[in-house]
Chains A and B, each alone.
Chain A
Amino acid sequence: RKEVEQDPGPFNVPEGATVAFNCTYSNSASQSFFWYRQDCRKEPKLLMSVYSSGNEDGRFTAQLNRASQYISLLIRDSKLSDSATYLCVVNGLGRAGNMLTFGGGTRLMVKP
């Protein structure tokens, strides 16, 4: 079983739609959680951190359920520019201390 699992998609949605991505992680000792965005052939960029209380940044809302080891990202009013791959990322302890473990990514395509 992968440490961080995501539905690879693609999710094809029209502009203005609301879309939700889910992610599960296997290590219950994981300490912090993030959503990153990666455009084609580019490096990942931090979209937002995810907190237990849930947090919102503009059109983006992230939720964390530690009991279920489940993370979600909701995007409202999708824009064409939201088309990208969204990576669920978990920070935990690795061989050399804190390390990020990346999910396989969920691809979003927003169409006009």
Chain B
Amino acid sequence: GAVVSQHPSRVICKSGTSVKIECRSLDFQATTMFWYRQFPKQSLMLMATSNEGSKATYEQGVEKDKFLINHASLTLSTLTVTSAHPEDSSFYICSARAEERFFANSYNEQFFGPGTRLTVL
């Protein structure tokens, strides 16, 4: 159990285009999903927290109009990088936190997706 998938795993795009990344919890329902970004040789930085059916909460310094998050169901959240620029090239990782009834001992544990490597040319 506790599998989170991300799609695509890798994307290369031209500057100015938009890229959508999907994050799915495959065998549990996630009340909350998180989006992180990791630049080379740096740690994961939280970009935003999304709860199903409500607007995402963005961390300081993250532009909500550039990084659009939609959490339409308890198993899917999407991150759209709009008008991507080379400086947006990074490793984007999502995680999902399960509802208590699914993993009683792991209520606060976040399960991470395999990440999406974005390269903007």
Indicate whether A and B interact: yes
How many pairs, one residue from A and one from B, have CB atoms within 8 Å of each other in the complex?
49
Using known A-B contacts A87-B43, A95-B57, determine if residue A43 contacts B49 with beta carbons closer than 8 Å. no
A43 and B112: CB pair below 8 A?
A: yes
Identify the stretch in A61-69, A76-84, A99-107 within 8 Å (CB) of chain B at 4 or more residues: A99-107
**Interface residues on chain B, number (Cβ under 8 Å):** 24
Query: Smallest CB–CB gap between A30 and chain B, Å?
Result: 13
Contacts of B45 in A (CB 8 A): 102
Q: Is A42 an interface residue (CB 8 A)?
A: yes
Contacts of B93 in A (CB 8 A): 43-44
Can you name 13 extra interface pairs (CB under 8 A) apart from A41-B91, A104-B43?
Answer: A42-B114, A43-B115, A44-B112, A46-B109, A94-B46, A94-B49, A94-B59, A95-B58, A96-B51, A97-B32, A98-B97, A100-B95, A101-B46
The main secondary structure of chain B at its interface with chain A is strand
Query: Smallest CB–CB gap between B13 and chain A, Å?
Result: 19
| Cα-based distance from A87 to B42 in the complex (angstroms) | 11
Q: Is A26 an interface residue (CB 8 A)?
A: no
Contacts of A104 in B (CB 8 A): 42-43
Size class of the contact patch on chain A: 20 to 34
Q: Is A55 an interface residue (CB 8 A)?
A: no
Which A residue's beta carbon lies closest to that of B48?
A: A96
Q: Give 22 pairs: A residue, B residue, CB < 8 Å, sorted on A.
A: A41-B91, A41-B115, A42-B114, A43-B93, A43-B113, A44-B93, A46-B109, A87-B44, A91-B108, A95-B49, A95-B59, A96-B51, A96-B57, A97-B49, A98-B108, A99-B34, A99-B46, A100-B34, A100-B95, A101-B46, A102-B43, A102-B45
